[in-house]
Amino acid sequence: MRLGIDRVRLARNGRLLGVLPHELLERAAATTVGEQRVERRGVLPLPAGPFLGRIEEPRQRRMSLRSVLVSVRTAGAVTGVQRAVSDPHPDRIEGYRIESELARGGMGIVYLARQTFPDRRVALKLLSPELAADPDFRERFIRESNAAASTEHPNIVPIYGAGEADGRLYLAMRYVQGADLGALIRGDGPLDPERAVAICSQVAAALDAAHARGLVHRDVKPGNVLIDEAGNAYLTDFGLIARNEVETGITKTGQFMGTTAYCAPEQIRGDEVDARTDVYSLGCVLFECLTGQPPFPRENEAATLYAHLQDTPTKPSARRASVPSSLDVVVRKAMAKRPDWRYRGAGEMASEARAAIGHPDVGHAPAARSRRVLAWGIGVAVVSLGLIIPLALPMTDDETKSTTPNDALALQHGLLAIDPLDGHIAKKLPGQIGIGGFGLPPSLVAGEGALWTTALSGPIRVDPSNGDVRELFNQCNGASLGVSLGTVWVVCGTDIHAVDPFTLDVRDVRWDGPAGGGFATALEEDRGTLWACFDSGSLARIDTLDEQATLVPDVQADLCSVGEGALWVVDRLLSTVTPVDLETGRTGTPIIIAGDIDAIDAGAGGVWLLDSGAGTVTRIDPQDHSVGGSIGIGEGATSITAAFGSTWITVPSARDLVRIDPLTRDVQRVDVNAAAIFAAPDRQTGWLWLVVRPPEDAG
């Protein structure tokens, strides 16, 4: 069954743990959140009860998402998103006479007001009465507003005062005549790259000033960037900032602070926030300036949160042809899932953005490093001395191009990470890891902040930052692994195990297993459901909430892949691919393929099949099921992976990685100087990880 994408956020002890498919919540609790859209600003009060409640001290370790679901189902308490403030506005607050309403959102209403002394017009923000009722929030709001008021910068809207009156918290700021950046984009459409970078550079300067004082904004978005009539940019709404020592995206009152379209993954998870949290949001703002849309336009806000946690944003240049591909690199780094992989500060991001469009820093910050950006099959933008030189690389269907070899980073055995944007190696983790068994390819999956693969003794957890290895359990060679709902799943033979990614506690899933026994050839995830196909041809559906597995009858699935809206199963004997409806489980008409099918992966706009013996790749159109012509890639390929808008094939005998452009069918060879036998995407870092074996063992 295909699970819907309506999700809500849940937390335990005040920590946000994830986003959940709506159907799972219906089974987990008595109440759910409907699909009605909410205001862009989300205030998520966490319900009280035996499970969900207000935090006293933050937990040191996040619970697995599945554990949250089970506890929620027991407690029977789920909450939704607080709606926007809708109370009528007063005529006067303290020393301010209200003239008109400017804007409203989930946290409060902004008015145009007249201050009695000194006599001036101000923007007056009144927060909702519920927030003022909490003494901890009230104290923090006034304290941090005063701290923000003392931060002076030309691109920060000055705060004139903050306090409490008539049971309402208020924030008085300079009134800027003009429009906010969001309104500007809605009215004029996407900005040209030069103007977008100029505005974001001013915002970055404001953020650097705040970060220097230990303040984190936590709500950088177009609506909080004001553009005056002269075109200058001002960052506002600093009354909701946080001290960066111990603050998280969830306040002590149990409320999520931020705007869903621009919030960083650590805010959603309830982890600590710092300057890099604002960098992520600024990356989202730059993306919207360039394309006219936020990076993850989804049908509801819960789905947007899920995308921030799991999905890779589209390249801005793919949304709008006039955006230079060099800015893709800036946005990708700013929006890395892990804070460690982002720019250290907003100014550093702005510096590289200016260099990317040919306007390096002058009197602002140290010049950006020169870097090479390879736009696959389209061109190369070389940033040098502030110049961007596009170099066309025309290619035919049969022609291949090689990137610069990574000679200095040769690896004999272990894991390699390459940057799919420029084809160069980003990380190497040597070791006896990534080993398959019983003639099966190795299994590798990224998720929950780690890499999960196999070693000689069994499945292991690999720390991607330093290569540290922890064994899950032993005596299991030839496992298939997957990650779903905060749990790592291991199929060893026909046995299924659920592993807590933090404690590594193992739970066994009871089921009868396929009649023919065998080993799992793939473990595919579809938002709460796992599909396991076995070399005996059996197909199993694993409910990750109930931890139950069932066999799917009348389906031959020697290989399988989830993507492009369906489960695709392979009958290797008949050389057919059959689509399976993820919602109903019904099978479609088998698609006959000319040649063998040694591997399959669905994504990047197609269903991709590898015939290793013939040295070809074939694409099935997922919409009309038509079969395209074969693409020659050479003999000796061992795996195929559709990720990051391309299709990747490992060819260990050639010590390179083949990349196919799905639109042009152009073929490129990336010299990784290693015998890579398997590839897996890491959507948290935007890297493609490769399993490397010695050449004599890779065939």
Catalytic residue IDs: 219
Sign of the four-CA dihedral 183, 184, 186, 187 = positive
Number of H helices, E strands in the chain: 13, 45
Cα(first)–Cα(last) distance of the chain, in Å? 38
Judge residue 506's burial from the number of C-beta atoms within 10 Å of its C-beta, 0-12 exposed, 13-18 middle, 19 or more buried.
middle
Tokens read off for 650: 């490992």
Q: Extract the tokens encoding 342.
A: 């982002």
Q: What is the DSSP letter of 152?
A: -
174: three-class secondary structure by DSSP: strand
Contact between 373 and 403 (Cβ < 8 Å): no
Closest CA to 128 of 240, 6, 19, 216: 240
Q: Among residues 178, 364, 202, 196, which one has the least CA distance to residue 284? A: 196
Query: Tell me, what DSSP letter sits at residue 552?
Result: P
The answer to whether 482 touches 525, Cβ cutoff 8 Å, is yes
CB of 680 within 8 A of CB of 454?
no
Spatial CB neighbours of 554, under 8 Å, sequence gap ≥ 6? 587
Residue in the structure block whose two tokens are 């997922």: 622
Residues 311 and 309: their CA atoms lie apart, in Å, by 6
Distances (CA, A) of 163 to 111, 127, 142, 671: 16, 11, 6, 61
Is the bond preceding residue 118 a cis peptide, omega within 30 degrees? yes
Joined together, the tokens standing for residue 89 give 């506005």
d(CA 462, CA 348): 30
